[in-house]
């Protein structure tokens, strides 16, 4: 999940490099959605033992492009 959040926050920062953190959150409110990863991974896939130890590609929707 760390890799996912780094990517989506990084995309937001690239889109709005001039914004403060709070302004970024206002411009990209999806960054506050704790369920955002579930748009990309099923709960079953996220809860697998190997998914907790290594990167597993999403099974519902690809990762956002950089």
- Token pair, residue 2, equals 């760390």
pLDDT on residue 57: 93
pLDDT on residue 7: 94
pLDDT on residue 65: 83
Q: What is the pTM of this model?
A: 0.84
In a structure prediction context, what are the per-residue pLDDT tens digits for the chain, which is 66 residues long? 899 999 999 999 999 999 999 999 999 999 999 999 999 999 999 999 999 899 999 999 998 887
Angle at 38 between CA 34 and CA 39, to 5 degrees: 110
Residue 25 to residue 22: CA distance in whole angstroms:
5
Contacts of 25 (CB under 8 A, 6+ apart): 31, 32
């Amino acid at each position: 999940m760390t890799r996912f959040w780094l990517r989506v926050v990084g995309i937001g920062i690239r889109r709005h490099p001039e914004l403060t953190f709070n302004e970024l959150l206002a411009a990209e409110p999806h960054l506050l959605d704790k369920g955002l990863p579930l748009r990309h991974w099923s709960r079953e896939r996220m809860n697998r033992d190997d998914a907790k130890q290594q990167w597993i590609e999403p099974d519902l929707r690809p990762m956002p492009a950089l």
